[in-house]
Amino acid sequence: MNTGAQSDSRFEDDANRYAAYLETTEGRLRSDVAFANLQEFLPPAPAIASLLALDLGCGTGAAGIRLGRLGAHVTLLDSSPAMLGLAERTIAQAGLWDKITVVHGDAGRLTDLPERSFDIILCHHVLEFAGDPAAVLRGVQRAMRDSSSILSLVVRNQAGEVLKAALQTGDLAAAEHSLTADCAQESLYGGNVRLFTPEALDGMLKDASLTTAARRGVRVIADYLPARISRTAEYDRIFALECKLGRRPEFFGIARYLHYLCRGS
């Protein structure tokens, strides 16, 4: 999900690695739980056909294509031609070219898109890599049609990095460091990724005139389950439990990812 602000070309040079990650249990849970959260705020199938959606930093386009399958008209935007190429193949396989438009562009510069045009905007795992996250959110607010529009925003949680270091590897020094760290090293490509706290994100959303309708945690416990639990055989049970935990405020703050559902002004 290249935003265009990256100084490296990790998503362009090896887009297939990210596509493969989405097929892992961790990748599937991240995507499936977030989409289940979003569906709470979508109208029934007949009404969704009239809505316009924008998937910022869409990567392989998996989330946006899901919206297209539900009937929405979707614009996929990414600055990585390799990622967009993967998205185009999936669109063709799904027979959704009448529903989906692919745009090469930068999530940090949305002025080229029509103002007040979109009913649904996905911004999943984009702010972590953006040079100016606040500018992205201001652009999102400008692109939302009105106060009924919904923004689905997913970012990496600072507290999740603390628990990852402590529980997965027993690295207490890394856990302590993550308590105040602004960035972490992501494991897929090895580059830096920005970390967020609910407090910081609340402030950024307020400054962008975006109102939070709901907060959900994504991947609260799945990363720390004992090896004896089969991630494949027990996937449905893990998914259902993750959805329940993510909706409870006491678990939201410790999830690996923070999911915000927001309204425009």
- In sequence order, the 6+-apart residues with CB closer than 8 A to the CB of 248 are none
Residue linked to tokens 């080229």: 112
- Residue 100 domain boundaries: 10-158+192-263
From CA 262, how far away is CA 135, in angstroms rounded?
16
Please name every residue paired with 144 in a beta bridge, in sequence order, or none if there are none.
118
> Counting Cβ atoms within 10 Å, is residue 215 exposed (0-12), middle (13-18) or buried (19+)?
buried
pLDDT, tens digit, for every residue of 45-91? 889 999 999 999 999 999 999 999 999 999 999 989 999 999 999 99
Give the count of domains, the chain.
1
Strand boundaries in 11-109, DSSP class E:
52-56, 73-78, 100-104
Condensed to tens digits (0 to 9), the pLDDT of residues 11-27 reads: 666 788 888 888 999 99
Q: What is the CATH number of the domain that holds 22?
A: 3.40.50.150
**40-44, 130-134, 182-186, 188-192: segment of lowest average pLDDT:** 188-192
What residues contact residue 231 under an 8 Å CB cut-off, 6+ apart?
25, 222, 225, 238
Is 3 part of any domain? no
Strands 257-263 and 211-218: antiparallel
**In the predicted structure, residue 99 carries a pLDDT above the cut 50:** yes
